[in-house]
Each structure stands twice: as structure tokens, then as C-alpha cells.
Amino acid sequence: MPELPEVETVRCGIEPHLVGHYVRTVIIREPRLRWPVPLSLSQKLTGQSFLTVQRRGKYLLLNCPQGTVLLHLGMSGSLRLVPDNVPPGKHDHLDIVLSNDCCLRFNDPRRFGSVLWIQENPLSHPLLKPLGPEPLDPLFDGSYLFKRSRHRRAPIKVFIMNHRVVVGIGNIYASEALFQAGIHPRRAAGRISLGRYQRLVEAIKTVLYQAIQAGGTTLRDFVTSDGKPGYFSHQLQIYGRTAHPCPTCGNPIRVDRIGQRTSYYCAQCQH
DNA sequence: AATCGCGCCTGACGGC
DNA sequence: TGCCGTCAGGCGCGAT
């Protein structure tokens, strides 16, 4: 599923094909996404040109002079650029056809994604306003997390997956970062020292950077007309590796359910 | 204020 | 083979 690194890779991939081009047509085949795709999207977006393509957490912002397409890939969403004569396939819910004969195609089997049109300042939109800092921003550091976590009894894994605390850390990278930092996913957030938070933040930045770099190389051929856009295969040390030996100590990796999410950890290495 | 649990949805998978 | 139940998961929302 798209995590922050995938969304950033998508952003980089589509940006050069959108910026400076205008929208010829919008085709909505299935408006029933997480929120209904507004019927007015077609009319509002047609004729607009793209100024910039930004990312905020896992949201993509396609900025136009008169508004912004606010897009989320949810669990199973993907964006591809295809020549505009390629017939749509299953779950191709929406096309933004561009002046350069290219078509930005949104596919989402589970329809947890969303495509909205907003006219106010995007950052004051109700979906974006409450979001915490970007994990790769320098102001996201150990002392920030330490301060935010005081008196919090929630497990650290739940805490760092809370998008009001910090955005873009999904289930996979939460497990990976906690493993790398040697912190047990169930430990209460309020009972972790500043030093350990500094190590955790370092781990979060490292796993995200590595994944973004991996994505940049794997998804070099972003413009495709066939096949699925491969989310890059993660180099995961712990996620999904139940009963495999821990790469550090060799003890079997454990799986557990924390905050309604599957969590992987090494009971020996993480405290 | 913080935390919990629900619901949205399809595809993959296991059991019978 | 086919049918059915279960699970996976991002994330906003309403309840506690």
C-alpha cells in the first residue's frame, strides 16, 4: 500500500508531466470513493493549468490557478500517466486528460482513496489543517516527539502513527523504525526518554529516506501504458516476517495486534 | 483531551 | 470447482 515514500515517488513522477500543461477533459467513471468525487470537479478543473505538485503527508496537491485537486491514494490507489488513447481497465475511476495527450489515471480497487476539489488555501482545509509536521522536516526531531508524548499512555507505535503527531508513518514503517531504534512497539509513549526519542526520529528519517531513494530507482519508468505501477519492493527487516530470525539476534520475530494493527517486533532487541 | 472502535471496500486465501 | 468467511489496511469520525 502507498506509504509516504511511494506518494513522494508518485509526486516526483507526475510533476514534470503536469506542470505547465492544462486540463482538456476530466472523466469520472466511478465517483464513489472515500468521499464522493464532486460532480463539479470536471467543470472546475477543465481548462485549468497545473502550477505545482505538492505532497502533505500522504496527500497529493495538484495546484491550479483557481483551486487545488486534493488527492489521497488510500490503501490501494495508484496514479499512472498513460497516452490518452489507452482504454481504461478495471477500477480506473478517474482520468484527467491533459493538453499534452497524456492522461493522469486514478485506479483504486478498494476505493479508500479520494479526489477532491478545494478552492480555499489547501493548508487551511479541514483535512490538512490538523496534521502534524512532516517526518523529514528538520523541525521534526527527538525533543518535539518527547514533548508531545508526555503523559501519553498510548503505545509508541500508535503514537507515531497518529497524524496529528507526525504525518506519513504507516504501519510498515512504524514497525521498521521501532525495530531500528530498539523500542518495543507497546511501550507507553510517555515513558520513553529524550535520548531514545532522538534515536527513534533518526530511525524514522532513515527508513523513509532509504525507501524514497529505492522508489526513485525502481519507478524510473513511471510513464507506462500497461501493467500495474509497481510499488517498489521494500527492503524490510521486520515487517511481515513472522517467525523469521531477527536480523540482529536471530530470535524469531513476533507478530502482535496493537491498536487494531498488525505489528512485528523482536522481543529480544526491542524494549 | 486522549483514546477506542467502527466503517468504508476489494482481493487473496483457506477450509469445506 | 465454487462458495463463504476472514483478514488486510489509511484514516476520519463519533463515542467514551
Chain segment A52-111, per-residue pLDDT in tens: 999 999 999 999 999 999 999 998 899 999 998 899 999 999 999 999 889 999 999 999
Distance CA A26, CA A38 (A): 12
Q: How far is the CA of A33 from the C1' of B13 (A)?
A: 26
Q: How far is the CA of A268 from the C1' of C11 (A)?
A: 32
Chain segment A218-260, per-residue pLDDT in tens: 443 344 433 344 445 557 899 888 889 999 999 999 998 898 8
* Closest C1' nucleotide to A90's CA: B10
Distance CA A8, CA A25 (A): 25
Cα A236 from chain centre:
17
Chain segment A160-199, per-residue pLDDT in tens: 999 999 999 988 899 999 999 999 999 999 999 999 999 9
CATH class of A142-265: mainly alpha
Instruction: Indicate the domain borders of chain A.
Output: 4-124, 142-265
CATH class of A4-124: alpha beta
Cα A110 from chain centre:
16
Contact residues for strand B with beta carbon within 7 Å: A 32, 34, 75, 90-91, 109-112, 151-154, 158-159, 189, 259-260
pLDDT > 90 in chain A, percent = 75
Q: Is the Cβ atom of A166 within 7 Å of strand C at any atom?
A: no
Distance CA A34, CA A152 (A): 30
**Residues A40, A112 contacting (CB under 8 angstroms):** no
